[in-house]
Amino acid sequence: MFTGIVSDLGEVLEVREKAEGLRRLAIGCGYNPDSIDVGASIACSGICLTVVERGVDGNRSFFAVDAAAETLRMTTAGVWRPGTKLNLERALRLGDELGGHMVSGHVDGIAELAARDNLPDMARLSLRAPAELARFIAPKGSVALDGVSLTVNEVDGDTFSVLIIPHTLNVTTFGSLKPGARLNLEIDLIARYAARLLATLPR
């Protein structure tokens, strides 16, 4: 589990095809490699991926993960290339502060940035969600976009908006986002289970 609070800004260093439908990604990071266990989970722009290797390349730490065909198809990982910047978060440990909201790292779909309004020290992002996910997004509810926990401001059909504060703009990939960008979207776990419960109630 994760909280949607980004702890490092990583960069894809290498992309290598391992087998049909399996791709290995080496990701540069600021984490101490000795603190990363092989088999640990790290959220990479919102995608929970398992560490299969870690070490130091030159003067930079890195870890490697394998992305399978379903992950490559359902998320933005399919278009990651060397130089792609990623929001990183280590897995939640018992006793850690829950600063965002409960995030599983299981991406539900891809949202598209429809518009960006730059405000004094902030940015308002308007995004278009896949039609089948829009019903789970509500004003004042939570979403995770590229692994960042955000509060929804307004909803209009399949479009919703979020406000990005200066700190988030500085420590995540959001500072450079432009209209047309595609972001990994995870809906709120509570909204998902509430909808499932309502669907099973007798009519």
- Which one of 26, 29, 43, 48 is the catalytic residue? 48
Residue 95 lies inside a defined structural domain of this protein: no
* Whether 48 is catalytic: yes
- Which one of 3, 26, 41, 76 is the catalytic residue? 41
* Whether 151 is catalytic: yes
Tell me what pLDDT residue 21 has. 86
Query: Which residue range is the domain that position 66 belongs to?
Result: 8-90
Q: In total, how many domains does the chain have? A: 2
Segment 27-42, tens digit of pLDDT: 999 999 999 999 999 9
- CATH assignment at residue 162: 2.40.30.20
* For residue 168, pLDDT beyond 70: yes
Segment 76-99, tens digit of pLDDT: 999 999 999 999 999 987 666 666
Segment 61-71, tens digit of pLDDT: 999 999 999 99
Together in a domain, 71 and 132: no
* For residue 201, pLDDT beyond 80: no
Together in a domain, 118 and 193: yes
What is the pLDDT confidence band of residue 193, given thresholds at 50, 70 and 90?
low
pTM: predicted TM-score of the whole model, two decimal places:
0.92
* Whether 61 is catalytic: no
Buried b (16+ CB within 10 A) or exposed e, 129-145: beeebbebbeeebbbbb
| pLDDT (mean) for 13-34 | 94
- Which one of 69, 106, 131, 195 is the catalytic residue? 106
Q: At 129, is the secondary structure helix, strand, or coil? A: coil
Q: What is the mean pLDDT of the chain?
A: 92
- Which one of 40, 68, 91, 138 is the catalytic residue? 68
- Which one of 2, 62, 136, 174 is the catalytic residue? 2
Together in a domain, 120 and 195: yes
Last residue of a domain, one of 61, 90, 119: 90
Tell me what pLDDT residue 58 has. 84
Together in a domain, 71 and 151: no
Together in a domain, 128 and 162: yes
In sequence order, what are the residues at sequence separation of 6 or more whose Cβ sits closer than 8 angstroms to the Cβ of residue 139? 152, 153, 154, 155
- Which one of 35, 69, 151, 194 is the catalytic residue? 151
More confident residue, 57 or 88: 88
* Whether 68 is catalytic: yes
For 184, the enclosing helix (H) or strand (E) is strand 182-187
Rounded Cα gap, residues 133 and 137, in angstroms: 7
Tell me what pLDDT residue 33 has. 94
Segment 169-180, tens digit of pLDDT: 999 999 999 999
Tell me what pLDDT residue 158 has. 96
